[in-house]
Structure 1
Amino acid sequence: MTPPRIAIGGFMHETNTFAPSKAGLQAFVEGGGFPAMSEGPAMIEALRNVNMGTCGFVEEAERRGWELVPTMWCHASPSAHVTEEAFETVAGKIVAAIEAAGQLDGVYLDLHGAMVAEHADDGEGEIIARVRAVVGPDVPIVASLDLHANVSPRMVAEASALVAYRTYPHVDMAETGRRAAVHLARLVGGAAEFKAFRQIPFLIPIAWQCTDMEPAGSIYALVARLEDGPVTSTSFLCGFPAADFADCGPSVVGYGATQEAADAAADAIVEAVFAARNAFAGKAFDPLDGVREAMRLADGATKPVVISDTQDNPGAGGDSDTTGMLRALVEAGATRAAIGVIVDPAAARTVHEAGVGATVKLSLGGKSNIPGDAPFEGEFEIVSLSDGHLVADGPFYGGARMRLGPSACLRIGGVQVVLGSRKAQMADQEMYRFVGIEPKDQAILVNKSSVHFRADFAPIAETILVCTAPGPMPLDPASLPFTKLRPGVALSPAA
């Protein structure tokens, strides 16, 4: 029997339409903390043993003996809109390669689900529709999606199935790719399937979407339990609440052997989300209050107190260069404290020219013109230098090979700073160690991340605090100036 021929491709970007910087083609070429852009067979090798959907899909496909037709895969750090040039270049190559592949039995797409391009608000809907136009109505298309996907009716209509992550931090990205392959196998085998799609009319702050906390933990346990018998796949997507387009927000997608089964599963998840809507909340501190609380808790603690600098999360569109938390650490007189990654390529060049041991006066960070933020003016000791190459082998990045560009460890008072030239979310302990900082030895760690850091840092943390220094990803979506949301969508889950 001839094995199925399956085309695979990936184009991943989470778009914060309110962020300061757009994602051009070079951002996808570099990879944004994950593997760099790759094409053809090199794409498969680049993603082996990496926590990404394509990795899990390929492992399952190879186990089943499928013939894979790799097209292109790329990822860029979350930011503002994907430029038209970048979108058309990448989407064009993926679609052209699928068209050139000839007869196919299926297509797998590794997507995020919250991409907004300069000329296309529904980036993934556009990509899936273009692939559908090439392969025709009968070839199954299955896409894996981020838990933060903003799913549109067009995405559901054009794809045969959408399969989403179930953890945040996303430690199951590769596993989701494997589940997508299992689902595609069912469709390639000719199984009939019915769809159910529900959009939820309120936005959920990303810091409170964490599946290690309630209510998300219980909701995702329900999602997994419902996938049984005639219910072939269930996904609850919390949505990315900083994308100004009509379909921003949480959603539920269900698939089943009957329409009744798909509808019942989707409705059960929606009911659970509505029942828990007031529990999507938590405590956040102003920067100085948060640092002082961390210092109090650290006194006598045996593990670091970890602070989330949530509003400058480069995993949600921030440039990783705001200085509010650094300012608070210095003002409070914190000691045995470290913060990272502050991205400032010009400062990194200056530091590398000066060398280890020198003291340099810097105007550090604060280049994104965020209201309430500014460069930090001060004298820093240069403790160490790095070329920015590291392997982030914690549970979130899962072995990703990072290239942060010229980097350094700086010291000002009792505070050490991880300085980098390219942004990546501080979600792995190696992102401190590569410049000589041992995170376990610190009293306070300030991570530019909202939730993903918890996967690698919660096991070493005395406790975790959330702080709201000025940044482009407000903790409260209600503070964002939306203009395109569909009518009836509340900017907060609070009933």
Structure 2
Amino acid sequence: MLTPTGRRLRIGIGGMAIESSQFCPHRTAYEDFRVTRDGELLDRYDWTQPESDLADLVEWVPLVHAVSLPGGPVERATYDRIKAELTERIEEAEPLDGLVYDIHGAMSVVGLDDAEADLTTAVRAALGPDALISAAMDLHGNVSRAFAEPLDLLTAHRLAPHEDAWETRERAARKLVERLAAGLGRPYRAWVQVPVLLPGEKTSTRLEPAKSLYGRLAAVEALDGVVDAAVWVGYAWADEPRCRAAVVVTADAPELARDQARSLARHYWDVRRDFGFVGPTDDADGCVRRAVAATARPFLISDSGDNPTAGGAGDLAYMLGRLLANEDLAGGRVTALHPGITDPEAVAACFAAGVGAEVTLSVGGRFSAGTGPHAAPYALTGTVTALEGPAEVPEGALRGNPAYAQGGRKAAVTRGGVTVVLTERRTPFHTRADFGTLDPTAYDLVVVKIGYLEPYLHDIAADWLLALTPGGVDQDLLRLGHHRVERPLYPFDDEGFEEPDLTPVLLS
């Protein structure tokens, strides 16, 4: 199959994706990114494969893609290096008909206020004015006008947890191909920000009101003349003027785009006070006490304030201290597994000592020391019970988890009934494979640095509590100290909040 021009489309693929907490002391360096190019980049996606129905229509041109586990702001030199390579490869690949722009939307860079706008402006300049750009984003991204203006299509996940992340990328690609293959020009995009900023743990699409709000998007998209509809909740742990919810409806008829965007924005604003945490909450000690007393096993606790997959440092030993302060856990009458505190020095000490050795370690605070009492290292004496070498990236892992942890040894240390997993690199524990030789279902409690539970954790949890712990992604936004977000903004301002102007701006 050929396009109306009689040739295959040439569409580039590239981007830079990370979620960055400005309240996290960690700084993201180049080595924290997985950078893919050439065939390895094309292998990330099912729809770029030779057996795809798009193969005869599109020549996919791999540029460069960089993705990192969420963390602190990106070092400026790292950002400049990746930005330069992306724009240079775009220029070298010309002519391109379009670009699938695979990003996140909540990247913070040291010295920049709107990193995605800066990057997108440079990408547009390198690509030229005629090629179309289709952005695939996380719904926790921020969508400023300066960022949205150079784009032609932009869409976001419709599920949180993001079980549709790869469907979002495919939707962005297919919408772009459809438009180019039909010879259609740039569509209208109706953009409006909503003065609400909520953490992801209050906006899960498993629950109302997000379930109904996001549930509307497919129906809006199905309307004759609508290309796409997307809602972003924004990223709560950055402190920039762009941080707030946003709606974009893309259509060929400007009034249709405006009307649907206005309706979605009004829906969001009207239900702003109805959002609640995705699960029952308590402080750290309350969660531990309730979990120990419960009969449901395993009982999961989220250490939400230090969640590395939301931008936390992942090095806080705060929850470890609270676990061992409980007499039943310290005495071994109840067992708990607590992965994974990032501490390369402690891991090295465990490997030097070997399995079965008693070790005395200063655990945690490698990034966060000095940022508050919750960041103090914990003096741990225990027995090394497991050691694991660097994990190999399994076949297909790039498609299943683009931020799959590379390298990184792990060491398990047990004291009383508590086994803590120390990691060499910041590492999420979301899937069964992440736990290695340790079986989380064999413990009474499993305390994970996460917010809402990812599917595997959700499935094994006999019961669950969300611990409102301190850290770089503290769920209590009011105690974090935002001072650069645009006000008024809910929930920072509530009583006496004047009715906001939710009139969409038409981007053409």
Question: Is TM > 0.5 for Structure 1 vs Structure 2?
Answer: yes
Q: Which among 51, 63, 87 is matched to residue 53 of structure 2?
A: 63
Matched with 1:190 is: 183
Aligned length: 474
> Paired residue for 1:408, among 408, 411, 427?
411
TM-score (normalised: structure 1):
0.91
CA distance in 1, matches of 2:395, 2:317: 27
Unaligned runs of 5+ in 2: 1-5, 496-508
Q: Confirm or deny: 8 A CA contact 2:225 2:252 kept in the other structure.
A: yes
Match of 1:289 in 2: 286
Which is worse superposed, 327-336 or 395-404? 395-404
Inter-partner Cα distance in structure 1 for 2:442 and 2:173: 42
- Of 210-219 and 160-169, deviating more is 210-219
Q: What secondary structure is seen at the aligned counterpart in 1 of 2:373?
A: coil
How far does residue 261 in structure 1 lie from its aligned partner after superposition? 1.5
- Counterpart CA distance in 2 for 1:89 and 1:207 is 33
Superposed displacement of residue 311, structure 1:
0.2
CA distance in 1, matches of 2:118, 2:477: 26
Given that 1:372 and 1:470 are in contact with CA atoms closer than 8 Å, whether structure 2 keeps it comes out as no
Whole-angstrom CA distance in 2 between matches of 1:246 and 1:396: 33
Say which SS state the counterpart of residue 405 (structure 2) adopts.
strand
1:395–1:456 Cα contact (<8 Å) kept: no
Instruction: Identify the residue that residue 20 of structure 1 maps to in structure 2.
Output: 25
Matched AA of 2:303: D
1:193-213 deviations in Å (ceiling 9; x for gaps): 211111110211221122222
Cα drift, residue 472 of structure 1: 1.4
Aligned to 1:32: none
Give yes or no for contact 2:342–2:427 (8 Å, CA) kept in 1: no
Letter in 2 for 1:449: I
Instruction: Tell me the CA shift for residue 24 of structure 1.
Output: 1.6
**CA shift at 1:397, angstroms?**
8.3
Q: Provide the rounded CA distance (Å) in 2 between the counterparts of 1:343 and 1:168.
A: 26
Q: Distance in 1 between matches of 2:71 and 2:140?
A: 14
1:107 Cα shift? 0.8
Shift of 1:378: 2.1
TM-score (normalised: structure 2): 0.89
SS at match of 2:474: coil
2:100 alignment partner, one of 101, 104, 108? 108
Report which stretch shifted further, 150-159 or 466-475. Answer: 466-475
Pick one of 280, 288, 302 that aligns with 2:275.
280
Q: Call closer, same or farther: CA 1:61–1:143 in 2, change over 3 Å.
A: farther
Does residue 457 (structure 1) correspond to residue 457 (structure 2)? The answer is yes
Alpha-carbon displacement from aligned partner over 1:253-296 (angstroms, at most 9, x marks no partner): 11012112111221221122122211212342111111111112
Q: Deviations over 1:118-140 (max 9, x none)?
A: 23221111111112112222210
Q: 1:423 to 1:110 in 2, by over 3 A?
A: same
CA–CA separation in structure 1 for the residues paired with 2:132 and 2:10: 12
1:393/1:166 CA distance change after superposition, 3 Å = farther
Percent of aligned pairs sharing the same letter: 30
Q: Secondary structure at the match of 1:402?
A: coil
CA RMSD of superposed structures (Å): 2.2
Alignment partner, residue 329 of structure 1: 323
| Secondary structure of the corresponding residue to residue 255 of structure 2 | helix
Work out which of the two has the higher radius of gyration on C-alpha atoms and give 1 or 2.
Answer: 2
Distance across 1 between alignment mates of 2:493 and 2:400 = 32
Residue 355 of structure 1 aligns with an amino acid whose one-letter code is G
Structure 1, unmatched stretches of 5+, are 29-35, 48-54
Cα distance, 1:365–1:122 mapped onto 2, change above 3 Å: same
CA distance in 2: counterparts of 1:288 and 1:461, whole angstroms? 19
Partner of 1:345: 344
Counterpart in the other structure of 2:298: 304
Alpha-carbon deviations, 1:73-115, whole Å to 9, x = none? 1112222221111111101101100101121111111001111
Deviations 1:424-483 (A, max 9, x none): 222222222x1x2211222111110112x3321111111221112221111022222223
Q: For 1:397 and 1:441, how far apart are their aligned partners in 2?
A: 30
Matches of 2:353 and 2:305, distance apart in 1? 32
Give the corresponding residue for 2:443.
Answer: 442
Q: Is 1:44 aligned to 2:47, yes or no?
A: no
- Please name the residue that 2:195 is paired with: 201
Q: How does 1:245-284 map to 2 (within 5 A)?
A: 245-282=240-277, 283-284=280-281
| Cα 1:236/1:103, change in 2 over 3 Å | same
Aligned match of 1:213: 207
Q: Is the 8 A contact 2:46 2:52 kept in 1?
A: no
**Contact 1:11–1:110, Cα closer than 8 Å, also in 2:** yes
Shift of 1:44: 1.8
TM-aligned CA distance change 1:493 to 1:356, over 3 Å:
farther
1:24–1:86: 8 Å Cα contact kept in structure 2?
A: yes
Secondary structure of the residue aligned to 2:106 is coil
C-alpha distance in 2 between matches for 1:462 and 1:394: 30
Q: Is the 1:57–1:179 contact (alpha carbons within 8 Å) kept by the matching residues of 2?
A: no
What amino acid is aligned across from residue 352 of structure 1 in structure 2?
A: F
Measure, in 2, the Cα distance between the counterparts of 1:56 and 1:113. Answer: 23
**How far is 1:345 from its partner?**
0.1
The change in CA–CA distance for 1:478 and 1:84 in structure 2 (over 3 A counts) is same
**What's 1:31 paired with?**
none
